Amino acid sequence: MARFTPKQLRGVMKSLEDLQIIREPNDSEWATTFAISLENPISIYDAVYVAFAIHENSQMVTADKVLVTRLKSAETRQRTIMLADLAL
Domain count, the chain: 1
Beta carbons of 50 and 74 less than 8 angstroms apart:
no
In a domain, 32, yes or no: yes
pLDDT at 46: 94
Residue range of the domain that includes 79 = 25-85
pTM: 0.75
pLDDT at 40: 94
In a domain, 2, yes or no: no
DSSP-assigned letter for residue 79: T
Distance between CA atoms of residues 35 and 33, nearest Å = 5
In a domain, 47, yes or no: yes
Q: What is the mean pLDDT of each run of 10 residues along the chain (88 residues)?
A: 76 84 91 95 94 96 95 93 83
In a domain, 20, yes or no: no
In a domain, 80, yes or no: yes
DSSP-assigned letter for residue 45: H
pLDDT at 44: 94
pLDDT at 69: 95
CA distances from 60 to 51, 54, 69 (A): 9, 9, 14
In a domain, 31, yes or no: yes
In a domain, 78, yes or no: yes
pLDDT at 88: 62
